[in-house]
Amino acid sequence: MIQNMLICRCEEVLLADIVASIENGAGTLKAIKMETRAGMGICQGRTCRMLLEQVMDFHTDINVQEANNLSYNNPVRPISLANLSRSGKDSEP
Amino acid sequence: METADVVIIGGGVIGTSIAYRLAANRKVMLIEKGEIGAQTSGACDKAIFLQSKKPGFPIKLAKASRMVYENLEEELGMNIEFQKNGGMIVIENESHLDFMKQFVKQQNKAGIHVKLVNQKEALAFQPCLSTTIAGATYSPEDAEVNPLLLTQAFAKAVKRKGVIIRRHTEVTDIVIENGKVVAVQTAKGKIATELVINAAGPFAPKIAEMVGIGLPIMPRRGVILISEKVKPMIHGNILCSQYIATKHLSHQTDDTSYGVGLSLGQTESGNLLIGGNREFKGYDKSVEPEVLSAIARHARRIAPSLDFIRIIRTMVGFRPFTNDGLPIISEAPHVKGFIIAAGHEGDGIALAPITGLLVASLVDRDLRYKEFLDQLKLDRFRAYNVSPN
């Protein structure tokens, strides 16, 4: 079943979950993310962001450019707590 | 023109909690400029701490809110991951021991079950902690909740009660005639109403300015690191005594420490939430990398076993700060039909349930919560007509 297609593999969110969220009124990627956890996993949406845009485009007439209100925050790649603690300018060696 | 009995501005945990209590016998509209629960309420930790509150009225208020939590899941009909797992405040070094002993004595007098535990006892409960800590305090009354689910649960419940929620709708003006609120102007149309509730959290001063009121609320920025999912390793929530000192003692942020104090918890999905800090940086969300390192450094000093856990994201939120650490839940002195319910700083999650009840009581003009409301009035700040920004 296409509805069982995995969109966000990190958080195991199915296409059906995304569509249900849109049908419930979620009109942006951030709204979908907060409701379904799609994009909250270890890859931070690197895989599912494009897919989410496509689902949005297919199921609504919302402009995808406008609907993508996800923000990019540090760190840009996963980093261990130990390495993060050493990464600032004024940290101890 | 659309009409409503009440227009609530702000779709965070406070606004949705208020909507829930007001919806029973009124036409309520809730206006949110972005997404529901996506600003302050979506960038915070998950603790409902009692033991960290100041003795006296703040504890009384927090306890009343904590009572509402007992049945909230059932009331809202949705799992909000409410857990009564207790909470711990780590005392990092001997120099904080006297301060914390005093603190425990105070809290016990105020009726909070909290006790001092030694290093061995602390480590037995939280094996992630460092063997260099001096001890800890523990309270079984502290609890936790998933703030994202909490706001969503309120939002879903209010929809069922017929509340109209307008997302992506910014309030641009509040229309006053003869000293009374008559309408709310939004970017998407005007709503006629005689009652507005300002629940815009850190943005509440901007809304209050529209009716000529300067609110003594300032955005205080907090940052939290989010880790990858790991197996359960944190029981309840952990703060450090530095956090208590930062919360209760200093109004100014020490430049070299970025106002860092540990707040550590684990979500049911397995992510660790590692906070945090308190800084006055206006509404600027761009966090210097040094702040992230400082938070990481502080966390691994107290919990070295977190060293190799990977951080996947950081979140930034503005806490609505007031200089006495209490929210403003009050009618405006010179404008009829304008109620303020903001300024909870870092206690918004803990105090959201009681805030809804307090505002409902204020609107209904019953005297159920008079004792509470008397202490939360705007006019307790002498210079309330002067905006701090």
Chain B contacts of A32, Cβ < 8 Å?
Answer: none
Nearest-5° Cα angle at B188, B185 to B193: 35
Q: Is residue B145 over pLDDT 50? A: yes
User: Is residue A84 less than 8 Å (CB to CB) from chain B?
Assistant: yes
Structurally, how many domains does chain A consist of?
A: 1
Residue B231 DSSP class: -
Report residue B161 CA to chain centroid gap.
Answer: 25
Residue B119: count of CB within 10 angstroms of its CB: 17
Task: Copy the structure tokens of residue A93.
Answer: 């060696």
> Could you report the per-residue pLDDT of B161-205, keeping only the tens digit for each?
999 999 999 999 999 999 999 999 999 999 999 999 999 999 999
State the pLDDT at residue B255: 46
Ranges A68-72, B59-63, B216-220: which has the least confidence: A68-72
Q: What's the predicted TM-score (pTM) here?
A: 0.93
| B150-179 as b/e: b if 16+ CB within 10 A | bbbbbbbbbbeeebbbbbbbebeebbbeee
Q: Is residue B389 over pLDDT 50? A: no
Contact B165, B157 (CB under 8 A): no
Chain B contacts of A74, Cβ < 8 Å?
Answer: 287, 289, 292, 314
Q: How far apart are the first and last CA of chain A?
A: 54
Nearest-5° Cα angle at B153, B339 to B2: 50
How far apart are alpha carbons B4 and A87 in whole angstroms? Answer: 52
Q: Cα distance from B251 to chain A (closest Cα, Å)?
A: 24
User: Is residue A27 less than 8 Å (CB to CB) from chain B?
Assistant: yes
B331 versus A73: the higher-pLDDT residue is B331
Ranges A43-47, A60-64, B69-73, B341-345: which has the least confidence: A60-64
What are the C-alpha distances in Å from B76 to residues B17, B32, B73, B79, B273? 11, 21, 5, 8, 25
> Could you report the per-residue pLDDT of A26-43, keeping only the tens digit for each?
989 999 999 999 999 999
* Chain B contact residues (CB < 8 Å to A): 34-38, 42, 148, 152, 167-168, 225, 227-229, 256, 269, 274, 287-294, 296-297, 299-300, 306-316
Residue B331: count of CB within 10 angstroms of its CB: 16
How far apart are alpha carbons B290 and B259 in whole angstroms? Answer: 12
How far apart are alpha carbons B147 and B173 in whole angstroms? Answer: 30
Q: So what's the ipTM on this one?
A: 0.90
| Domain CATH code at residue A79 | 1.10.10.1100
Q: What is the maximal distance between C-alpha atoms in chain A? A: 54
Chain A contacts of B152, Cβ < 8 Å?
Answer: 34-35
Q: What's the CA dihedral at B15, B20, B22, B25 to 10 degrees?
A: 150
Q: Is residue B370 over pLDDT 90? A: yes
DSSP string across A8-77:
ETTTTEEHHHHHHHHHTT--SHHHHHHHH-TT-STTTTTTHHHHHHHHHHHH--S-HHHH--PPP-S-SS
Q: Is residue B73 over pLDDT 90? A: yes
Q: Is residue B40 over pLDDT 80? A: yes
Task: Identify which of A37, A42, A86 has the shortest CB distance to residue B312.
Answer: A42
State the pLDDT at residue B252: 47
> Could you report the per-residue pLDDT of B118-134, keeping only the tens digit for each?
999 999 999 999 999 99
Q: Cα distance from A1 to chain B (closest Cα, Å)?
A: 26
State the pLDDT at residue A89: 56
3-state secondary structure (DSSP) of residue B244: helix
Which residues, listed in sequence order, are joined to residue B6 by a DSSP beta bridge? B28
How far apart are alpha carbons A62 and A58 in whole angstroms? Answer: 9
Chain B contacts of A81, Cβ < 8 Å?
Answer: 225, 227, 274, 296, 299-300, 306-311
Task: Copy the structure tokens of residue A48.
Answer: 């599912």
Ranges B52-66, B149-163, B241-255, B365-379: which has the least confidence: B241-255
How far apart are alpha carbons B87 and B94 in whole angstroms? Answer: 20
| Phi, psi (degrees; rounded to nearest 5) at A62 | -75, 140
State the pLDDT at residue A69: 83
Which residues, listed in sequence order, are joined to residue B190 by a DSSP beta bridge? B185
Residue B254 DSSP class: P
State the pLDDT at residue A48: 94
Domain with A85, as residue range(s), is: 2-90
Q: Angle of helix A15-23 relative to helix A48-59, nearest 10 degrees?
A: 50
